[in-house]
């Protein structure tokens, strides 16, 4: 595989961006690449565009340089879409559409062919962060770069637990921790630690969850009113669907929160028998076999009815 610097020869202006509602992998991979390109190409202008990262990611060097405002019309020499297809980049998509050259670094099975002129797409990779690591010259990696990439890998593998973790993932992780950052502390701070209201709303979602299809599916929804009551934002709901998935006997967990009058953001998790990437793709979303998402219209009853039909089809097949 060609290293990323070979694709960036004689470029002055580079933009990096991930997907809307950025998760740990999205932020870690974008920031690792950002720090690396700033170092490797000191003469170039490098920008990273993301929606405001959660406070837990303030331990990543340079996070204060993240640009959240995409109103300026800039034509970049290169735009790099990381952990996403261009259609899920939000406001930064315009930089992808107008750039002279586009690069896509992604690991979603729903993005098989890539959306860039140059594509580094591997659904076998645990995370976009693991893919970014492959594209860097080892001698230029330093502690802050290693730490950002490591955080991304930790988040998308559930601390190296999910089935996307491969021997290669752990080899990369081993190299990364040799840079000497406090990996144990940052797993706690960025992955396990929750605020009081995050735990409260998790409790509420578990309490109100419903099992169906003979216990093979579990579902919970949080409406706008409840989110306002607890004063939580979507990032505070991360992890609820993973907790639902751990219920014994469950093959598929569904969590949704209200994003509009008749609109829900849906998260799906599978224990292996259901391909949730397929389910999410059917409704215009995407993701991985065991973790996927989409946005759906209608009441939450409509959403759950439509989803369960697709899930049932797979379980019966
Ligand atoms: P989430 O449930 O939002 O944590 O997402 C689970 C996985 O599916 C992540 O890898 C997301 O990047 C991916 N995903 C979520 N929503 C979408 C979507 N609308 N389109 C494509 N991929 C998605
Ligand atoms: Mn992601
Ligand atoms: Mn990812």
257: domain CATH number is 3.10.310.30
The vertex-121 CA angle with 120 and 123, nearest 5°, equals 150
Find the mean pLDDT for residues 12-33: 98
**303: which 2 tokens?**
């959403």
The atom number, within ligand 1, closest to the CA of 26 reads 12
Tell me, yes or no, whether 179 and 301 share the same domain: no
**Residues with Cβ within 8 Å of residue 94, at least 6 apart in sequence:** 70, 73
CB atoms within 10 A of CB 80: 33
Query: 313 is written with which tokens?
Result: 């089809």
How many Å apart are CA 291 and CA 272, to the nearest integer? 10
Mapped onto helix, strand or coil, the DSSP state of residue 252 is strand
Distance 87 CA to ligand 2 centre (A): 14
Do 155 and 225 fall within a single domain?
A: no
Helix (H, G, I), strand (E, B) or coil at 163: coil
Pocket test for ligand 1, best of 21, 264, 281, 287 (most atoms within 8 A of CB): 287
Query: What does the pLDDT look like over 246-305, one tens digit per residue?
Result: 999 999 999 999 999 999 999 999 999 999 999 999 999 999 999 999 999 999 999 999
User: What's the length of the chain?
Assistant: 317
Residue 133 has pLDDT above 90, yes or no: yes
Ligand approaching nearest to the C-alpha of 287: 1
How much of the chain, in percent, has pLDDT values that exceed 90? 99
Q: How far is the CA of 6 from the centre of ligand 1 (A)?
A: 30
Q: What is the mean pLDDT of the chain?
A: 97
270 C-alpha to ligand 1 centroid (Å): 13
Distance of CA 290 from the midpoint of ligand 1 (Å): 11
Angle at 91 between CA 86 and CA 96, to 5 degrees: 40
Place of tokens 């960036």: 8
98 & 216 share domain: no
Q: In this structure, how many other beta carbons lie within 10 angstroms of the beta carbon of residue 315?
A: 16
The single-letter DSSP state of residue 189 is I
In this structure, the answer to whether residues 101 and 41 fall within a common structural domain is yes
Which of 172, 192, 212 is the last residue in one of the domains?
A: 192
Output the CA 210–ligand 3 centroid distance in Å.
Answer: 28
Q: Out of 164, 192, 220, pick the residue that ends a domain.
A: 192
135-141: average pLDDT: 98
- Collapsed DSSP state (helix, strand, coil) of residue 283: coil
From atom 4 of ligand 1, which residue's Cα is the shortest distance away?
267
Q: Are residues 284 and 204 in the same domain?
A: yes
Q: What is the pLDDT of residue 24?
A: 97
Tell me how far the alpha carbon of residue 203 lies from the centroid of ligand 2, in angstroms.
25
Strand pairing class (118-121; 101-106): parallel
Average pLDDT of the residues in 52-63 = 97
Specify whether 97 is located in the same domain as 158.
yes
Contact criterion met (CB below 8 Å) for 127 and 30: no
The answer on 63 and 105 residing in a single domain is: yes
Q: What is the pTM of this model?
A: 0.93
Residues near ligand 1 (Cβ within 6 A): 23, 88, 108, 110, 267, 285-288, 291-295
The tens digit of pLDDT for each residue in 120-132 reads 999 999 999 999 9
| H helix intervals, the chain | 24-40, 93-98, 128-134, 143-157, 167-177, 183-187, 196-207, 224-230, 240-245, 276-282, 300-316
* Total domain count, the chain: 2
Ligand nearest to the CA of 267: 1
**214 & 183 share domain:** no
Q: Which residues pair with 16 in a beta bridge?
A: 48, 80
Q: Is 2 exposed, middle or buried (0-12, 13-18, 19+ CB in 10 A)?
A: exposed
The strand pairing partners of 81, in sequence order, are: 17, 104
Q: Do residues 166 and 303 both lie within one domain?
A: no
The pLDDT tens digits of the residues spanning 72-121 come to 999 999 999 999 999 999 999 999 999 999 999 999 999 989 999 999 99
Helix, strand, or coil (residue 71)? coil
Whether 36 and 164 share a structural domain: yes
pLDDT score at 1: 82
Structure tokens given for 286: 């995407």
Reduced to 3 states (helix: H, G, I; strand: E, B; else coil), residue 257 is strand
For the stretch 200-241, pLDDT in tens is: 999 999 999 999 999 999 999 999 999 999 999 999 999 999
* Whether residue 279 sits in one domain with residue 176: no
CATH code for the domain in which residue 51 is found: 3.90.1640.10
Domain range for residue 151? 4-192
CA distance 242 to 291: 9
- Give the pair of three-digit tokens for residue 119: 């594509």
Distance 292 CA to ligand 1 centre (A): 5
Instruction: Name the 3-class secondary structure at 26.
Output: helix
Looking at residue 107, its pLDDT comes to 98
Of the three residues 130, 160, 192, the one that is the final residue of a domain is 192
CA distances from 315 to 67, 110, 272, 278, 290 (A): 44, 20, 11, 13, 14
Nearest CA to ligand 1 atom 2: 267
CA-proximal residue: ligand 1, atom 7 (nearest): 292
List the residue whose alpha carbon is closest to atom 17 of ligand 1. 293
* Pair 141, 179 in one domain: yes
The distance in angstroms from the start CA to the end CA of the chain is 38
């Amino acid at each position: 595989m060609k290293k990323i610097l070979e694709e960036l020869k004689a470029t002055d202006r580079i933009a990096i961006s991930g997907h809307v509602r950025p998760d740990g992998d999205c932020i870690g991979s974008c920031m690792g690449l950002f720090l690396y390109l700033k170092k490797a190409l000191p003469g170039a202008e490098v920008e990273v565009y993301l929606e405001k990262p959660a406070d837990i990611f303030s331990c990543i060097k340079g996070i204060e340089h993240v640009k959240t405002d995409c109103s300026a019309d800039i034509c970049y020499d290169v735009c790099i879409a990381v952990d996403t297809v261009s259609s899920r980049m939000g406001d930064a998509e315009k930089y992808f559409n107008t750039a002279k050259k586009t690069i896509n670094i992604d690991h979603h099975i729903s993005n098989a062919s890539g959306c860039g002129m140059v594509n580094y797409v591997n659904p076998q990779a645990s995370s976009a962060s693991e893919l970014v690591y492959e594209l860097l010259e080892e001698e230029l990696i330093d502690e802050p770069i290693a730490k950002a990439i490591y955080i991304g890998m930790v988040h998308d593998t559930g601390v190296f637990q999910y089935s996307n973790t491969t021997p290669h993932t752990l080899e990369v992780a081993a190299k990364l921790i040799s840079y000497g950052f406090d990996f144990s502390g940052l797993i706690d701070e960025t992955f396990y630690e929750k605020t009081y209201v995050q735990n409260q709303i998790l409790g509420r979602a578990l309490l109100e969850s419903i099992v169906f299809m003979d216990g093979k599916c579990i579902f919970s929804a949080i409406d706008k009113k409840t989110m306002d009551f607890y004063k939580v934002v979507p990032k505070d709901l991360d992890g609820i669907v993973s907790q639902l998935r751990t219920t014994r006997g469950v093959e598929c967990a569904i969590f949704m929160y209200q994003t509009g009058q008749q609109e829900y953001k849906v998260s799906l998790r599978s224990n292996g028998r259901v391909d949730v990437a397929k389910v999410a793709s059917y409704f215009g979303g995407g993701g991985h076999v065991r973790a996927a998402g989409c946005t759906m219209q209608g009441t939450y009853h409509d959403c759950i009815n439509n989803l369960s039909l697709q899930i049932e089809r797979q379980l019966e097949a």
